[in-house]
Structure 1
Amino acid sequence: MFKEIISYRQMLISIVRRDLRSRYKGSFLGFLWTFINPLLQLIVYSIVFPYLLRMNQENYPMFLFVALLPWIFFVTSVQSATTSIVGGANLVKKIYFPRVILPLSVVCTNLMNYIYGLVIVFSALLLTGVHLTLNVLWLPVVLLTLFLFALGLALNLSALYVRFRDLEHIVGVVTFVWFYVTPIVFPITIFPQKMADIIGYNPMVPIINSFRNILLYGKQPEWGALMYSLVVGIILLTIGTWVFRKSEKTFAEDL
Structure 2
Amino acid sequence: MRLRNSIELIFYKTYTDLKAESERSYLGFLWWIIEPIFYLSAFYILQVLVMRRDGTDFVPFFLCGAVVWKWFDSGVKGGGHAISIHRGLLQQVYVQKFVFPVITVMGSTARFIPVFGIFCLFLLLYGTPVKITWLAAPLLFATQLCLTLSLALLISSITPFLPDLKVAIDNAMLLLFFISGVFFNINEVHEPVRSYLLVNPMAGLIDEYRNIMLRGAWPNLDRIGIIILTSLGMGGLGLALLKQLDHKYGKIPF
**Cα distance, 1:186 vs structure 2:** 1.4
Structure 2: 5+ residue stretches without partners? none
What code does the residue aligned with 2:196 have?
I
Counterparts of 1:123 and 1:42, CA distance in 2: 15
Instruction: Please state whether the residue corresponding to 2:91 is helix, strand or coil.
Output: helix
Asked if 1:148 is matched to 2:116, the reply is no
1:97 CA drift (Å)? 2.4
Matched, 1:163 2:161: yes
For 2:224, which of 204, 226, 246 is the aligned residue?
226
Give the structure-2-normalised TM-score: 0.91
Q: How far off is 1:85 after superposition?
A: 0.9
Match of 1:246 in 2: 244
Structure 2 match to 1:122:
120
Tell me the C-alpha RMSD between the 2 structures.
Answer: 1.9
The more displaced of 77-86 and 23-32 is 23-32
Q: Distance in 1 between matches of 2:17 and 2:101?
A: 12
Counterpart residue number, 2:203: 205
Task: Please give the secondary structure, in 2, of the residue aligned with 1:216.
Answer: helix
Per-residue deviation at 1:56? 5.9
Give, in angstroms, the shift of residue 173 of structure 1. 0.8
Structure 2 counterpart of 1:139: 137
Which residue does 1:61 correspond to in 2? 59
- What is residue 10 of structure 1 aligned with on the other side? 8
Structure 1 length as normaliser, TM-score?
A: 0.91
Letter in 1 for 2:156: S
Name which of 35, 38, 46 aligns with 2:36: 38
* Distance change >3 Å, CA 43–CA 155, structure 1 → 2: closer
State the partner residue of 1:179: 177
Q: CA deviation at 1:189?
A: 4.2
What is the number of residues matched between the two proteins? 253
Whether contact under 8 Å (1:159, 1:248) holds in the other structure is no
Maintained 8 Å contact 2:186/2:207? no
Deviations 1:13-65 (A, max 9, x none): 12112221233433221111112233344545444412444436432121111
The verdict on how the C-alpha distance between 1:45 and 1:16 changes in structure 2, with shifts beyond 3 A counting, is: same
Q: Distance in 1 between matches of 2:167 and 2:41?
A: 31
How far apart, in 2, do the equivalents of 1:237 and 1:90 lie? 25
- Distance in 2, matches of 1:170 and 1:5, equals 32
Deviation at 1:8, TM superposition (A): 2.4
1:138 maps to amino acid = A
How far apart are 1:180 and its partner, in Å? 1.2
1:44–1:159 Cα change, 3 Å: closer
Could you list the runs of 5+ residues in structure 1 that have no partner in the other structure?
none
Q: Which residue of 2 aligns with 1:96?
A: 94
Are the counterparts in 2 of residues 66 and 211 from structure 1 also a CA contact under 8 Å? yes
Q: SS of 1:95's equivalent?
A: coil
Shift of 1:172: 0.6
The percentage of counterpart residues that share the same residue type is 21
